[in-house]
């Protein structure tokens, strides 16, 4: 699953780039004003941050758990949907989750790949709905369980990513008898 590994590598390289300049290599939050997504950045026309924010992680644990889940869900998503659709799911879910910035208080900053990763999770669950008893409903319930487990941060970003993943997973598997093949 080459694209998954490339995304993980890009995220790690971005982190390492900033970590070499940070006051501590374990946190790079000091670069948030330049990299994280904020409403202010969008007002200034920095629309690229709708994407670049999910390649920037605030600290080492943030990067670590996101890359672990990207490897798990990304590999399966890429296997099911192929590289092109995998990348579409990743970027569309990531951008959609970035729009959650409008649900947060003024001055909030978004960063990290988790919204895009929740999109991968949602698409995989929907694609595998034929292997679950009660299919579609069970897929939604599994998605909500993962969502609840990770609800401590990025609530709306995670939710919007998951919803977009469900939608794209359904679109890409509509009419297939056994989409999890």
* 65-81 pLDDT, tens digit each: 899 989 999 999 999 99
Q: Is the distance from CB of 117 to CB of 63 less than 8 angstroms?
A: no
Q: Considering the entire predicted model, what is its pTM? A: 0.88
Q: How far apart are CA 136 and CA 37, in angstroms?
A: 33
Nearest 10 degrees: CA dihedral of 21, 24, 27, 31? Answer: -30
Catalytic annotation on 158? Answer: yes
* 114-153 pLDDT, tens digit each: 999 999 999 998 898 777 655 566 656 666 666 565 555 6
Measured in degrees and rounded to the nearest 5, phi and psi for residue 66 equal -65, -40
Average pLDDT over residues 74-97: 97
Catalytic residue among 98, 114, 123, 139: 114
Q: Is the distance from CB of 63 to CB of 103 less than 8 angstroms?
A: no
Which CATH number applies to 2-173? Answer: 1.20.1540.10
**Domain extents for the chain?**
2-173
């Amino acid at each position: 699953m080459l694209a998954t590994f490339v995304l993980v590598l890009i995220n790690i390289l971005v982190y390492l780039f900033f970590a070499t300049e940070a006051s501590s290599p374990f946190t790079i939050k000091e670069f948030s004003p330049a990299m994280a997504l904020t409403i202010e950045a969008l007002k200034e026309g920095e629309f690229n941050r709708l994407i670049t924010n999910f390649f920037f992680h605030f600290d080492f644990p943030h990067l670590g758990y996101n890359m672990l889940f990207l490897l798990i869900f990304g590999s399966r998503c890429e296997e099911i949907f192929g590289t092109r659709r995998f990348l579409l799911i990743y970027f569309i879910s990531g951008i959609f989750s970035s729009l959650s910035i409008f649900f947060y208080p003024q001055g909030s900053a978004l960063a990290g790949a988790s919204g895009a990763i929740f999109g991968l999770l949602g698409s995989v669950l929907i694609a595998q709905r034929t292997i679950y008893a009660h299919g579609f409903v069970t897929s939604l319930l599994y998605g909500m369980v993962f969502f609840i487990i990770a609800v401590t941060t990025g609530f709306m970003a995670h939710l919007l990513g998951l919803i977009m993943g469900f939608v794209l997973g359904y679109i890409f598997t509509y009419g297939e008898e056994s989409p999890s093949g």
